[in-house]
Chain A
Amino acid sequence: KQEVTQIPAALSVPEGENLVLNCSFTDSAIYNLQWFRQDPGKGLTSLLLIQSSQREQTSGRLNASLDKSSGRSTLYIAASQPGDSATYLCAVSLSGSARQLTFGSGTQLTVLP
């Protein structure tokens, strides 16, 4: 059974810092990996999708990497801002038409002004 772990559970940084969020998964036979952002009481916003054949994806100040063989992904946030404060979730999907996602428990990020 696939298990996804995110470290740290919570992180507090001053504005302007670069930071890295970690995600690990136990079964490397994934189809893809997604990073999401969740604001309190809200749904999930998709940030980045990395296919299993890819090594990284970038969107603005966000860069996600994937090392499938070691079961690890990182989300790098450059020049953090208070508006980046949220919970960040990673999820992996299986092959097959259903594409079910297995989620980590998330990292709660607070960027202090």
Chain B
Amino acid sequence: SQTIHQWPATLVQPVGSPLSLECTVEGTSNPNLYWYRQAAGRGLQLLFYSVGIGQISSEVPQNLSASRPQDRQFILSSKKLLLSDSGFYLCAWLLTDTQYFGPGTRLTVL
């Protein structure tokens, strides 16, 4: 069966520090992968998606970047965090038209 992992589960970082969130999928190959952010009082916003290794598309201009170094690994990064980067970050993958979500990472930037 397919599973999706995200880590860390929670993270508290100071403004200006770097960020690296990781998402991995098991049990499938070459999935479409997605990063979403859910900020307090706001809906889910698509940040990046990838249809294959090294192929990254950005949906909104921001302080973040994404990379896909391996088929089933999707990484969200930042060189310098802003207060506005706080939120709940969710990774998802696509299986026959249905998107399945990971458990999420709660990021607090202080």
Listed in ascending order, the chain A residues whose CB lies under 8 Å from chain B are: 31-32, 34, 36, 41-46, 49, 51, 89, 91, 93, 97-106
Chain A min CB distance to B89 (Å): 10
Complex interface: chain B residues within 8 A of A91 (CB) = 44, 99
Interchain residue pairs with CB less than 8 A apart (17): A31-B97, A32-B97, A41-B88, A41-B106, A43-B90, A43-B101, A43-B104, A45-B101, A46-B100, A49-B97, A89-B44, A91-B44, A91-B99, A97-B51, A99-B94, A99-B97, A100-B59
Interface range for B: 20 to 34
Least CB separation from A32: chain B residue: B97
Chain A binding site: helix, strand, loop or mixed by DSSP?
A: strand
Complex interface: chain B residues within 8 A of A43 (CB) = 90, 101-104
Q: Are A98 and B43 in contact (CB under 8 A)?
A: no
